[in-house]
Amino acid sequence: MKAIVKHGSKAGAVAIEDVEKPHYSQNEVLIRVRAAGVCGSDVGAYLGKPEYEYIDTPAILGHECAGTVESVGTDVKSVEPDDRIALQPGSPCGACYQCRTGEPNNCPDRVPAVAAGGFAPYVVAKPDQVVSVPDDVPIEHAAITEPLAVTHRAVVTKGGVSPGDSVLVQGPGPMGVFSSLVARAAGADVVVTGLPDDAVRLETLSDLDIETVTINSDTGEPSPEALCGRYATRNGFDVAVDATGVESGVGTAIEATRDGGTIVVIGIPSTPVTINMAELVRSEIDLRTSHGSVTEDFFRALELLRSPDALPIDSIVDPADPRRPNDAFESFVRAETVKPLLDIDELQTV
Ligand SMILES: [Zn+2]
Ligand SMILES: [Zn+2]
């Protein structure tokens, strides 16, 4: 079978190669992948960023994927061949404290989701890693269940966003874009900020009637205070989601959040961040983080995918040619697209 494979830890070095169809054991499921989304982490691995050096290469990239069950091991009773499913990537150990108390995303022994083998026609999973897709959700939409689950956890579970809240989302990468849509679906008024380089992604959001603001990279204008004055009703945003992944993101979120409000950091800055702790304590701002997702977030994400009005997914996903993966990665790097989507059947026609 043809797969998109990353070699070594240097930049580039991604190729389509013939690899062996994976074998599955009696308690595993063989999945026929139909569609797969390109994640920032796939692009990070493609670029050879230091955060992804831990990936054991050669590795088949891709972890946001959906398809059908091809066959199951003799011990598997929960799914059957032809079931439509989304993959919940990254295996937690199932035995540690976090796994047993509903936080498998924080399992210290979990296998990271990245490079789960989704950019290939077949992938093997444990039965509890497959989540059934409702009939009215197209399988290519179900491919982005995972990033949607991750932002559901950030916005709803950790951010506690409720109807009528004003929400600031900083950084219109895929996580920021999905966060803004999840927050709006939860009944919030949402504003997304980005930089001039994010023009295409911000435009995608304004086309969906989400308020967007371009921050001047030199002056930092409009300031957090100015944003609050214009968009927040309670002397600051109730919730700020920082999806920038840069050092200044948390600081501006603190300035924009109302006293007693909540900040959820989902971007991962590559340098240490200095924050004004005194300001944070005196204003009793709840600074939280969110990473990954749990099965409940998967179910919630699939529910959201059932209502195209709440989540206009066709406007967000961008069909890309899996036979030219480097092009898909490069257009992501240039911020020309939010969520490239690969039709894995096409990969086999190389
Ligand atoms: Zn992802
Ligand atoms: Zn565990």
SS3 string, 248-302, reads: HHHHHHHHHEEEEEEEEECCCCCCCCCCCHHHHHHCCCEEEECCCCCHHHHHHHH
| pLDDT of 52 strictly over 90 | no
105 C-alpha to center of ligand 2: Å?
8
The residue among 283 and 113 whose pLDDT is bigger is 283
pTM above 0.85, yes or no: yes
CB-proximal residues (5 Å) to ion ligand 2: 92-93, 96, 99, 107
217 C-alpha to center of ligand 1: Å?
27
41 C-alpha to center of ligand 1: Å?
6
Element (H, E) at 350: none
| pLDDT of 5 strictly over 90 | yes
Rg (CA), the chain: 20
234 C-alpha to center of ligand 1: Å?
34
The whole-number pLDDT of residue 111 equals: 83
Among 103-117, 188-202, 332-346, the minimum mean pLDDT is found in 103-117
29 C-alpha to center of ligand 2: Å?
21
| Domains of the chain: residue spans and CATH | 2-143+316-349 (3.90.180.10), 151-289 (3.40.50.720)
Counting residues of the chain whose pLDDT is more than 90, the rounded percentage is 90
Relative to the alpha carbon of 100, which ligand is closest? 2
109 C-alpha to center of ligand 1: Å?
19
Which residues, in sequence order, are CB contacts of 325 under 8 Å at separation 6+?
A: 4, 14, 16, 46, 61, 119, 342
Q: What is the mean pLDDT of residues 92-96?
A: 94
Relative to the alpha carbon of 116, which ligand is closest? 1
| pLDDT of 195 strictly over 90 | yes
State whether residue 140 is helix, strand or coil. helix
98 C-alpha to center of ligand 2: Å?
6
Q: What is the mean pLDDT of residues 138-149?
A: 96
111 C-alpha to center of ligand 2: Å?
10
Q: What is the mean pLDDT of residues 308-312?
A: 88
